[in-house]
A = this chain, B = another copy of it.
Amino acid sequence: MFAVANTSTELSALPIEPNVPAFAYCRRHKARFLMELKSFIRFPSVSAQPEHADDLKRCAAWLAHHLRQIGLARVMVMPTTRHPIVYAEWCHAPGQPTVLIYGHYDVQPTDPLNEWRSPPFEPIVRGNDLYGRGASDDKGQLFAHVKALEVLLQTRGELPVNAKCLFEGEEEIGSPNLLSFLARHRDMLAANVAVLSDMPMLASNRPAITESMRGMLSLELEIRGADQDLHSGLYGGAIDNPLQTLCEIIASLRDRGGRVKIAGFYDRARDRSLHERADMKAYGLSDAEILHSAGAKQAWGESGYTLYEKTTIRPALSVSGIQGGYRGAGPKAVIPERAIAKLDFRLVPDQTPEEIERLFRRHVEHVTPATVYSFVRKQSSAKPASIDRHHPAMRAAFSAYRRGFGATPVFLRSGGTIPVIALLRDILGMQTVLMGFALPDDRVHAPNEKFHLPNFFNGITTSICFLDELADWSITAGRRLLPPEF
Contacts and interface: CB of A to CB of B under 8 A. Distances in A.
A16 interface: no
A238 B445 contact: no
Contacts of A308: 238
A132 interface: no
Contact of A228 (B247, B316, B446): B446
Contacts of A335: 318, 320
Interface string A323-336: 11111111111111
Given A336-B321, A373-B297, A230 B346 contact: no
B229 A300 contact: no
Q: From DSSP, what is the main secondary structure of chain A's interface residues?
A: loop
A477 interface: no
Contacts of A290: 235, 238-239
A172 to B, nearest CB: 8
A416 interface: yes
Interface in A209-266: 214, 216, 218, 225-241, 243-244, 246-248, 250-254, 256, 258
Bin the interface of chain A by size.
Answer: 35 or more
A49 B328 contact: yes
Contact of A326 (B47, B227, B291, B321): B321
A294 B226 contact: yes
A127 interface: no
A315 interface: yes
A443 B252 CA distance: 33
Interface stretch (A69-77, A364-372, A460-468): A364-372
Contacts of A254: 244
A293 B454 CA distance: 64
Copies of this protein, total: 2
A298 interface: yes
A297 B372 contact: yes
A227 B443 CA distance: 11
A319 interface: yes
A15 interface: no
Interface in A298-349: 298-302, 307-308, 310-311, 314-336, 339, 342, 344, 346
A380 interface: yes
A473 to B, nearest CB: 31
A111 interface: yes
A294 B324 contact: no
A159 B313 CA distance: 81
Contacts of A369: 256
A169 B311 CA distance: 52
B320 A333 contact: yes
Contacts of A447: 228-229
B238 A301 contact: yes
A190 interface: no
A131 to B, nearest CB: 14
A108 interface: yes
B445 A346 contact: no
A331 B370 contact: no
A174 interface: yes
Contact of A111 (B49, B50, B326, B333): B326
17 contacts: A226-B297, A228-B294, A229-B443, A229-B446, A230-B296, A234-B416, A235-B294, A238-B316, A240-B300, A243-B320, A243-B321, A244-B254, A248-B251, A297-B372, A321-B336, A325-B342, A334-B446
Given A238-B290, A244-B318, A330-B379, 17 more contacts: A48-B332, A111-B326, A172-B332, A173-B331, A229-B443, A233-B417, A234-B444, A243-B321, A244-B253, A246-B247, A297-B373, A320-B336, A321-B325, A322-B339, A325-B342, A327-B327, A333-B416
